[in-house]
């Protein structure tokens, strides 16, 4: 029995949903409302002490951290393996997964949070907002969220996030000159862990960030075309949701473009 605590907008939950779909596994969905901070409720913290989605519960046992969940699923359901057979390629796969967790994920948060999470928090009183943010269990995440609430897209985290995205795209372009997918000619967990972070780029209409990197643009298109992506990510973005996100992404792009120009 597989249960997933998830949210449609969460890239790290999207990673796990793609793995579940690639493997054709049945699972039960538990929606966690991040805007209402359901992730910080005591009953959820018992499952995931870090207070984040996703959490997989397998036969009653919680598994946390999206990359660990992806590998766990690949280990317990080894049919249609998403890991290369070659150990060197596995090391490259894990490098990309680590890069996503350590660098791309916080960067995505810095760009997405001011647009998606901040408006709901700004409707609360300053005291309510403060009380909620103080509950975020890990200090770096708590402090980052405070900065993003205070300064929105003018937070210092945003410049670093744009630079990280662009450098990641340039490194991916190089890797894709060597093989069809990120670590080899086979689709792997590295592709799955990266793809949702470009859903964010796509949904806000920031695709000019791919300029000069046609292989990355093509790689993302191929990820999107997969049945697993359609059923577990694209289906959560019907036309009215997509149109709303595109509109919200426009003013942000003006700021992102300036940071990209300063980088060049």
Ligand X SMILES: N[C@@H](CCC(=O)N[C@@H](CS)C(=O)NCC(=O)O)C(=O)O
Q: Which residues bind ligand X (CB under 6 A)?
A: 10-12, 34, 39, 52-54, 65-67, 101, 105, 136, 141
For the bound state, the minimum distance from the C-beta of residue 53 to ligand X, rounded and expressed in Å, comes to 4
Cα(28)–Cα(127) distance, rounded to whole angstroms? 36
Cα(139)–Cα(137) distance, rounded to whole angstroms? 7
What number of other Cβ atoms are within 10 A of residue 50's Cβ? Answer: 14
For the bound state, the minimum distance from the C-beta of residue 211 to ligand X, rounded and expressed in Å, comes to 26
For the bound state, the minimum distance from the C-beta of residue 47 to ligand X, rounded and expressed in Å, comes to 12
Given the complex with ligand X, which of 145 and 188 has the nearer CB atom? 145
Cα(110)–Cα(163) distance, rounded to whole angstroms? 12
Task: Determine if residue 24 is left, alpha or beta; phi over 0 gives left, psi from -120 to 50 gives alpha, anything else beta.
Answer: left
For the bound state, the minimum distance from the C-beta of residue 45 to ligand X, rounded and expressed in Å, comes to 12
Given the complex with ligand X, which of 52 and 190 has the nearer CB atom? 52
At how many degrees (to 10) do helices 189-203 and 214-225 cross? 100
In the sheet with 61-64, reading across from the earlier edge strand, the strands are 28-31, 2-6, 55-58, 61-64
For the bound state, the minimum distance from the C-beta of residue 262 to ligand X, rounded and expressed in Å, comes to 27
Phi (first) and psi of residue 86, to 5 degrees: -85, 130
**Is the distance from CB of 200 to CB of 108 less than 8 angstroms?**
yes
The enclosing H or E element of 259 equals helix 239-263
Given the complex with ligand X, which of 142 and 208 has the nearer CB atom? 142
Q: Which of 6, 18, 8 is nearest to 57 (CA)?
A: 6
Given the complex with ligand X, which of 53 and 82 has the nearer CB atom? 53
Given the complex with ligand X, which of 21 and 97 has the nearer CB atom? 97
For the bound state, the minimum distance from the C-beta of residue 195 to ligand X, rounded and expressed in Å, comes to 14
């Amino acid at each position: 029995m597989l249960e997933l605590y998830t949210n449609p907008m969460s890239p790290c939950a999207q990673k796990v949903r793609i793995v579940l779909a690639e493997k054709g596994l049945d699972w039960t969905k538990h929606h966690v409302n991040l805007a209402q901070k359901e992730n910080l409720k005591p009953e959820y913290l018992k499952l995931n002490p870090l207070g984040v989605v996703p959490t997989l519960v397998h036969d009653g046992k919680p598994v946390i951290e999206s990359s660990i969940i992806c590998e766990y699923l690949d280990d317990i359901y080894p049919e249609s393996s998403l890991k290369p057979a070659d150990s060197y390629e596995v090391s490259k796969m894990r490098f990309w997964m680590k890069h996503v967790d350590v660098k791309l994920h916080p960067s995505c948060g810095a760009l997405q949070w001011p647009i998606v999470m901040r408006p709901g928090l700004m409707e609360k009183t300053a005291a309510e907002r403060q009380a909620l943010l103080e509950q975020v269990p890990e200090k770096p995440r708590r402090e980052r969220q405070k900065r993003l609430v205070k300064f929105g897209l003018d937070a210092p985290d945003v410049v670093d996030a744009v630079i990280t995205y662009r450098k990641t795209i340039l490194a991916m372009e190089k890797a894709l000159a060597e093989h069809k997918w990120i670590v080899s000619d086979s689709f792997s967990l590295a592709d799955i862990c990266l793809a949702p972070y470009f859903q964010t780029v796509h949904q806000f209409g920031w695709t000019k960030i791919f300029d000069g990197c046609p292989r990355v643009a093509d790689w993302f298109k191929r990820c999107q075309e997969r049945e697993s992506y359609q059923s577990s990510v694209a289906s959560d973005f019907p036309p009215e949701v997509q149109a709303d996100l595109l509109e919200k992404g426009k003013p942000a792009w003006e700021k992102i473009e300036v940071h990209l120009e300063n980088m060049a």
